[in-house]
Structure 1
Amino acid sequence: MITQKQKTLAIYTLPLVLLCIPLVGNLTSNEVNWSASDFLIAGVLLSTVAILINLARTKIKKQSHRILICIFVLIVFALIWIELAVGIFGSPFAGS
């Protein structure tokens, strides 16, 4: 059985693991071209999502509310990530 401490550790370790994927791509290929600011922004976004999900997991008692809040956090994260990458909304922060 996984303990609460192990779940929390996994939640906070996942952003680091996910950031290793573009790091390896940056080091081994010319196709991936991330700057330090790209890693910083991705790290802040992923860490914020991890903190919000862990906060929802620990503070909200009702399972259905917890799931809905986590889904909402993930959808907002995806929309922000997509906007920064390709600019689907045409904001000044768009990457294209």
Structure 2
Amino acid sequence: METMTTPKTTTKQRLTITFGIIAFILAVPLVAMQFTKEVDWKLFDFIIMGTLLTLTGLAIEVVTRNVKTAAWKIGISVVLLILLLLTWIELAVGIFGTTFAGS
């Protein structure tokens, strides 16, 4: 009987993938700015979004390393992604009206 093994990724590989995804996400508005005036990001916007994405990616990496069960890993990662999206929405349009978004 054959034993099936799943390939394990190293920390370096996971971080490379994480930063690649972050670069791709940040490239979307950068490219869109070349074709439309509706996307108007400044350097500060890229810095803030890059920081948010990096912190979220690293937090998910820490969860992946330290949490044992898959259900908890997924649950905590989903919560982190929801927090990222809520922060992004607040910064973009001030949906909650906090001073954090400049309202």
TM-score (norm 1): 0.89
How much does 1:2 deviate?
Answer: 5.4
Deviating beyond 6 angstroms after TM superposition, the runs of 4 or more aligned structure 1 residues are: none
Change (3 A) 1:2 1:37: farther
Residue range with higher mean Cα deviation, 7-16 or 41-50? 7-16
Residue range with higher mean Cα deviation, 72-81 or 21-30? 21-30
Alignment-derived partner of residue 78 in structure 2: 71
* Matched position secondary structure for 1:4: coil
Identify the match of residue 57 of structure 1 among 54, 57, 64.
Answer: 64
Cα separation, 1, equivalents of 2:27 and 2:53: 12
Cα separation, 1, equivalents of 2:33 and 2:102: 18
- Matching of residue 4 in structure 1 with residue 9 in structure 2: yes
Alignment-derived partner of residue 81 in structure 1: 88
Cα separation, 2, equivalents of 1:95 and 1:37: 14
8 Å contact kept, 1:12–1:51: no
Cα separation, 2, equivalents of 1:51 and 1:31: 31
Identify the match of residue 15 of structure 1 among 6, 22, 28.
Answer: 22
* Matched position secondary structure for 1:81: helix
* Aligned alpha-carbon RMSD (Å): 1.7
Alignment-derived partner of residue 39 in structure 1: 46
How much does 1:28 deviate?
Answer: 2.5
The one-letter code matched in structure 1 to 2:9 is: Q
TM-score (norm 2): 0.83
The one-letter code matched in structure 1 to 2:81 is: L
How much does 1:93 deviate?
Answer: 2.4
* Matched position secondary structure for 1:16: helix
Q: How many residues align?
A: 96
* Matched position secondary structure for 2:75: helix
